Amino acid sequence: MPGDASVGGVAEPSPSRTGPEGLVGIPGEVGVPKPDPILVADGIVRRFGGVTAVDVGHVEFQRGAITALIGPNGAGKTTFFNLLTCFDQPQEGDWSFNGRPLKGIAPHVVARSGLVRTFQLTKVLTKLTVIENMRLGAPRQMGERFLSSLLKPLWRNQEESNTASADELLVRFKMDHMREQFAGQLSGGQRKLLEMARALMAEPELIMLDEPMAGVNPALKQSLLEHVKSLRDEGRSVIFVEHDMDMVFDISDWVVVMAEGRIIAEGTPEQVGRNQAVIDAYLGSHHDSELDAIIHGDVPDHEVPIVTGDPDRTLSEEDR
């Protein structure tokens, strides 16, 4: 374990380099090295025609911590997620997970290596039941392979163990009563929960959540928040994209801010909250919005999120 130095049998107490403790005292500067990074990106550029959607110099994400990726609409957050998880490939740049370069790796191989993501538009399969969706999250499906399908007992054992893990997760996410329902019958918020639970079937080391709260009602939001925190408590690393600033401030150990494809700030929530470049970026894209009111003191901060989400867009449009 990092920080567990022991000399001559005597344990030297030292602060952990991993998790939130490792971030204490790190300066809030763009590109700042982290003591124990799980994901590192360098010089990532993604253009769509004439639009540069992502142009990130250097960023490191701390292991065992919750990092929020925030920024105005169109800042490039989802595109950056797609690139880091290999659902899309950049024109330039390199990135690595646990020290392993990911360029050119297929997304399902990335998932098997411990990096799993969820989508801004949920990708649960509406015509399958909740438990069937969960089973699809298991990293290895032996029955898929011809040779292993000949070894039916082995395959059946694996399927039973996948189902047992899925049922455990459904209990943990309080969705066990919905086990046999079609995912298409669930609300937008319940689908978000199902997608997060399904991602955990792969037992990821790092889970990346793209707007886990968008379109989720306040009661479910609270339980999603608790689930995200419990992931960190289990030692997993979390990176999430979110527009709801209450959530960002509530659970993040570190915040990375994007605007127009670039990272313009990073630091603790308090540091980025008073960063002028961040305030300007939000003002630039939200003239006459609620943020003007917040910054100019017309409305108390806690009553209005900095940027409102776009719940309608996130309710499984592809499912309709």
Ligand X SMILES: Nc1ncnc2c1ncn2[C@@H]1O[C@H](COP(=O)(O)OP(=O)(O)OP(=O)(O)O)[C@@H](O)[C@H]1O
Interface stretch with ligand X, choices 69-77, 148-156, 174-182, 272-280 (CB under 6 A) = 69-77
Per rule CB under 5 A, is residue 252 in the interface with Mg ion?
A: no
Torsion from C-alpha of 266, 271, 274, 279, nearest 10 degrees: 10
79 contact choice in Mg ion, ligand X, none (CB below 5 to 8 Å, kind-dependent): ligand X
Per rule CB under 6 A, is residue 53 in the interface with ligand X?
A: yes
Interface stretch with Mg ion, choices 19-27, 77-85, 122-130, 134-142 (CB under 5 A) = 77-85
Per rule CB under 6 A, is residue 284 in the interface with ligand X?
A: no
| Strands of the sheet with 100-101, listed across from one edge | 51-62, 37-48, 92-97, 100-101
Per rule CB under 6 A, is residue 191 in the interface with ligand X?
A: no
* SS3 assignment, position 46: strand
76 contact choice in ligand X, Mg ion, none (CB below 5 to 8 Å, kind-dependent): ligand X
Per rule CB under 6 A, is residue 291 in the interface with ligand X?
A: no
The encoded tokens of residue 297 equal 């003191």
Closer CB to ligand X, 55 or 253, in the complex:
55
Question: Residues 37, 71, 188, 212: which binds ligand X (CB under 6 A)?
Answer: 71
Chain centroid to CA 91: 23
Interface stretch with ligand X, choices 17-25, 75-83, 137-145, 271-279 (CB under 6 A) = 75-83
The encoded tokens of residue 219 equal 């009661």
181 contact choice in Mg ion, ligand X, none (CB below 5 to 8 Å, kind-dependent): none
Question: Residues 62, 67, 78, 133: which binds Mg ion (CB under 5 A)?
Answer: 78
CA distance 2 to 103: 28
Inter-residue contact 190 to 198 (CB < 8 Å): no
What distances in angstroms separate CA 152 from CA 20, 30, 143, 165, 208, one per listed residue? 45, 53, 8, 20, 34
DSSP E strand stretches across 25-123: 37-48, 51-62, 66-70, 92-97, 100-101, 115-117
Torsional class of 267: left (φ above 0), alpha (ψ -120 to 50), beta (otherwise):
left
Per rule CB under 6 A, is residue 311 in the interface with ligand X?
A: no
Per rule CB under 6 A, is residue 76 in the interface with ligand X?
A: yes
Per rule CB under 6 A, is residue 89 in the interface with ligand X?
A: no
CA distance 80 to 92: 13
- Interhelix angle 188-200/152-172, rounded to 10 degrees, is 130
Question: Residues 62, 78, 190, 275: which binds ligand X (CB under 6 A)?
Answer: 78
Per rule CB under 6 A, is residue 2 in the interface with ligand X?
A: no
Per rule CB under 5 A, is residue 162 in the interface with Mg ion?
A: no
Closer CB to ligand X, 120 or 126, in the complex:
120
Number of residues that bind ligand X (CB under 6 A): 12
Closer CB to Mg ion, 67 or 78, in the complex:
78
73 contact choice in Mg ion, ligand X, none (CB below 5 to 8 Å, kind-dependent): ligand X
19 contact choice in Mg ion, ligand X, none (CB below 5 to 8 Å, kind-dependent): none
Strands 254-259 and 262-267: antiparallel
Interface residues toward Mg ion, by CB under 5 A? 77-78, 120
